[in-house]
A and B are shown apart, each in its own frame.
Chain A
Amino acid sequence: SAVISQKPSRDICQRGTSLTIQCQVDSQVTMMFWYRQQPGQSLTLIATANQGSEATYESGFVIDKFPISRPNLTFSTLTVSNMSPEDSSIYLCSAYTSFQETQYFGPGTRLLVL
């Protein structure tokens, strides 16, 4: 199975600032995704991180607010820009391997915006 790590694991940020979250997978994966999980809620897909091209965003999420990079098959970043308290959430990276046809999740980054 793919092992996924995220940095930072948690952070407290001031409104108006930006935070970049890193996601590292221990093996090459077919696809990578970013999800958001607000406290006590379900998971919502933010975007698909495409290698070497612009991410594909879900309805309600835009590139200016959540720029995403994926420079290679094992690494991706999500930036939460111009943060407000409403951005307080857990951000999870996930990876899908076509070989195993299974999707794995990272441990998440807990973000609190004051």
Chain B
Amino acid sequence: GENVEQHPSTLSVQEGDSAVIKCTYSDSASNYFPWYKQELGKRPQLIIDIRSNVGEKKDQRIAVTLNKTAKHFSLHITETQPEDSAVYFCAASKGGSTLGRLYFGRGTQLTVWP
């Protein structure tokens, strides 16, 4: 099965700095890579995703990059704000009819200090 590794497990940054979270996956058939943000006591919320035919995707302060050759993908958050503090999970899926079968990384606790 798919194995997703995520680093770092915790990340502290000053407000306004950038944060980068990295993930690797094992199954070369995976082609859908979403990122979820989970605040304490709440459900995971999709913040951005990328498919294997795209190398980079941006949405305002958030960007995701994908390197299929190396089997890794990263989340970049610029100009961080205290409200970005949460646990971030990366995930991988083979897409198509199995797109919803997500395999998650262990999560990164991001803390943004004002």
**Chain A interface (Cβ < 8 Å from any Cβ of B):** 30-31, 33, 41-45, 48, 58-59, 92, 94-96, 101-108
Contacts and interface: CB of A to CB of B under 8 A. Distances in A.
Given A42-B107, A103-B34, A48 B44 contact: no
B1 A59 contact: yes
A45 B43 contact: no
Contact of A42 (B1, B43, B89, B101): B89
Given A42-B106, A43-B89, A105 B43 contact: yes
Contact of B100 (A31, A58, A59): A31
Contacts of B45: 105
A101 B51 CA distance: 11
Contacts of A104: 46
Interface string B62-92: 0000000000000000000000000001010
B29 interface: no
A12 B107 CA distance: 27
A50 to B, nearest CB: 11
A96 B32 CA distance: 13
B101 A33 contact: yes
A103 B102 contact: yes
B54 interface: no
